[in-house]
Amino acid sequence: MPPVMINLVAAQSETGKTTVLEELLPELKKRGLSVAALKGNLHHFDLDTPGKDSWRFKKAGADIAGITTADSFFLFGSEGGKNGAEAAAGLLANIDLIIIEGNKKSSNPKIEVVRSEINNEPLLPDHTIAVVTDRKDINLNLPVLKLGDNKALADFICKRFFDKENYGGPEPRHEGLTHFDRSGRPKMVDVSEKGQSKREAYARGEITMEPQTLKRVIAGDLGKGDVLGVAQVAAVMAVKETGRLIPMAHPLGVSGVEVDFEPIIEKSKIEIGVRVKLTGQTGVEMEALTGVSIAALTIYDMCKAIDKNMVITNIRLVEKKGGRSGHYRRGQH
């Protein structure tokens, strides 16, 4: 589930937004939330100053540049078609809540800070959901919270966005498992906000059989015909049907499928490989794995009359490219 994003805004500077956020963060942490705090809509910052090393890295083509210290880090980057906050949210997928200080033009829900000595009247930009103020006489058709009552503000955020008034910790998040919502129910991941990119996955598996069976498969003299030829077609068909076979997999417009078979005579088995490619918003790992599985099952089906002891094993993802998580290769992670 993507993180909740809120902007903390005010009509002008020096209103105390930073102090409000600084004092709010410990209250949210007490409630078990993981929180990111961002400064919004800056035109430039020191790390991005021309001539700085990080600026030079970015100009040289780095997708993300930054600095690290012994116990912290600072990263900056961009993503085509997205503003800074949207791009940052993609990198903060495991965070519960992102609070962005500033940017009144954002389409996110907003909490406005109104301090009587600075800006006596609220600005109420679009999507304002509450006002935090030291004024006692303010009358709005919105929740009005007392400036400095950070417990009440934390409770408001938790009730509004996490379905609990006195939040005692996040709902089970099935850490790292994106196909469950906060209540533990299965869901199909919403990829509508993700950009198109080139993606590729390669999976392998194996089917072990009697030596005589393997010889007949290689020779092509089984009564049902060309076993590997049929298994190749089955793999391609399975790749295209993955969205119908795996409940939470997306139907995808696959652009290419390659299937390879490698008989290993000394171990009496056939290694099966399936590579799948597309340009899209989600990866093709499940398509490659499904293609391998169905190819192996097809070989079993065509040979079971003479060898019911065949064993299908070791179906695994070997490599994936593209997408937010980048390049994965088995044995390097």
Average pLDDT on 118-144 reads 90
- Give percent above pLDDT 70 in the chain: 74
The three-state secondary structure class of 197 is strand
Per the prediction, the chain carries an average pLDDT of 83
301 in catalytic set: yes
What is the spatial order of strands in the sheet that 311-321 belongs to?
256-264, 269-280, 197-208, 311-321, 328-329
Pairing of strands 110-114, 4-9: parallel
Q: Are 110 and 127 within 8 A, CB to CB?
A: yes
Q: Does residue 173 register a pLDDT over 60? A: no
pLDDT of residue 124: 92
Our CA dihedral for 49, 50, 54, 57, rounded to 10 degrees, sits at 150
Average pLDDT on 175-194 reads 59
Q: Does residue 146 register a pLDDT over 90? A: yes
> Of 225, 204, 206, 226, nearest to 270 (Cα)?
206
pLDDT of residue 169: 45
- Structure-model confidence comparison of residues 153 and 178, the more confident one: 153
Our CA dihedral for 52, 85, 322, 179, rounded to 10 degrees, sits at 150
Kindly state the helix (H) or strand (E) to which residue 112 belongs, with its residue range. Answer: strand 110-114
Kindly state the helix (H) or strand (E) to which residue 19 belongs, with its residue range. Answer: helix 17-30
Report pTM.
0.47
Cα distances from 25 to residues 100, 153, 169, 200, in angstroms, run: 12, 10, 14, 40
- Give residue 330's pLDDT band: very low, low, confident or very high (50, 70, 90): confident
- Give residue 183's pLDDT band: very low, low, confident or very high (50, 70, 90): very low
Residue-wise pLDDT for 213-271, tens only, equals 999 999 888 766 799 999 999 999 999 999 999 888 888 889 999 999 999 999 999 99
Q: Which of 134, 149, 301, 307 is catalytic?
A: 301
Amino acid at 260: D
Q: Does residue 332 register a pLDDT over 80? A: no
Structural domains in the chain? 4-162 (3.40.50.300), 197-329 (3.30.70.640)
Q: Does residue 110 register a pLDDT over 70? A: yes
- Give residue 72's pLDDT band: very low, low, confident or very high (50, 70, 90): low
Distance CA 205, CA 318 (A): 10
Average pLDDT on 176-204 reads 69
Average pLDDT on 9-33 reads 89
Kindly state the helix (H) or strand (E) to which residue 131 belongs, with its residue range. Answer: strand 128-133
